[in-house]
Structure 1
């Protein structure tokens, strides 16, 4: 499970530690960020203490209007035991009451030079990426005409060889053998290679080859959104394969369902060309052009026309 600590955030965004140094190792469990305006006014009934608390100009200016006794009470409540950290934007002066409360409860207080909105956006994007649900799948991920295509299938069916042929045609390799997948948003899966296998491709009979060294930096990508799954399988004479393309199969990864194609493999079939066509056809379908539905409509029109003639 991927975890993010306050120290990771501090190093990522070059934040300045003001107080509460003992809590710098606290973990952040959610990408949500809280701006405790109501809490500054004294309403802590639904205080989301497990989030990073972000104080901007509005919160600080209102806080300075309070009495000293009230300031201390509010800051003690704000620095709850499960609060990961408190960040003050615009490099503003940190109130003394907040420093005292953070040291007392060991809640780190940090400052940033960025504006409140800008820092909130950047931090949310970073936390959503780092804390996204993840999984790993045996397969190959390639970028074919801008389509993130995940190629799966039994070991030895020719996934890596097909990926090599696609790279030779100008497409880009993302990951081979093992694809790490994270769901960064709803219906948004991103795949990347494990650090150990980055840029590498295994070809039986040749061994491990470095795609970037052989074909250049334009032949690889560090990550890619996955939109299409293609399963390669050995041709089965007893199995009925889809010949029209009207049926759409789905495969679920984490919480996202993706379109899946099953392509039979046997000698004489140029699989790399088939995958190129599959990627282009998928793009056309997203643009509203569906050749299978057009053919079906033409067939219905012909049948209806012939039926009318028979009736006449």
Structure 2
């Protein structure tokens, strides 16, 4: 059993990472800016989980966190996530995503913690140059979010080279699943269909993008965490396929009889209806397969059906799904 520190632990992806680590028998230190009631309740009934609030932007808090808890390794999921979110608050995104990560690397250097798995993104690539791209594709981000995440990757390489850290970057793509906290595809499609409402996306239906079910993202991150030695410092963790937004609508329609979800392609896809998306495609996952033995378990249809099942239960439980 290892002790794993998870940053951003109260977030959507962080919570899934924490639960998966606990289920396999690890000891977990869950940290976030504030500890959510859900995390506090989980820690109260689980001796293997410690919840500790810390602001990664505050150097002394980060150093104290590592000195107090002495983790064996870190999964770094803390960030302002998403193209729209970072576009709206670029300075804060820079401070949280980049400065917070540097503080973490500095604390690792001083406390002897060697390994960190950083949850990165396909946004670091910018416009895809082909339908399928591997980890050697040029990284020319077109979004504030992608730029901050690429900066973290670059700083991680400096700390690995100069201070002996093992910083591994897991580049995932459009992660989705139950309780997705942002109003985007496929959540908007699924919830409309479950309410019995027709839903039409006017533009962007022909955008092809690798959509990754949350459990596959977590599985890939943990495989990177567990790998004894790494020949590479970055891995695409995705599905290797790129359905269009229209394909996602069709998957929802197949899964919910009578659903009326459609997507037009009269214009490009825009995040939140206002920020133009980079050109996407599929992430080549051969490196993760060969090096980590990673194999995604959810194709689009299976992932959509799992999302629908969980969302239906939530909507029936509270009437409107407002906890999202």
Bigger relative CO (Cα 8 Å, ≥ 6 apart): 2
User: With structure 2 as the length reference, what TM-score do the two structures score?
Assistant: 0.23
Structure 1 or 2: more strand by fraction: 1
Higher-Rg structure is: 1
TM-score under structure 1 normalisation? 0.23
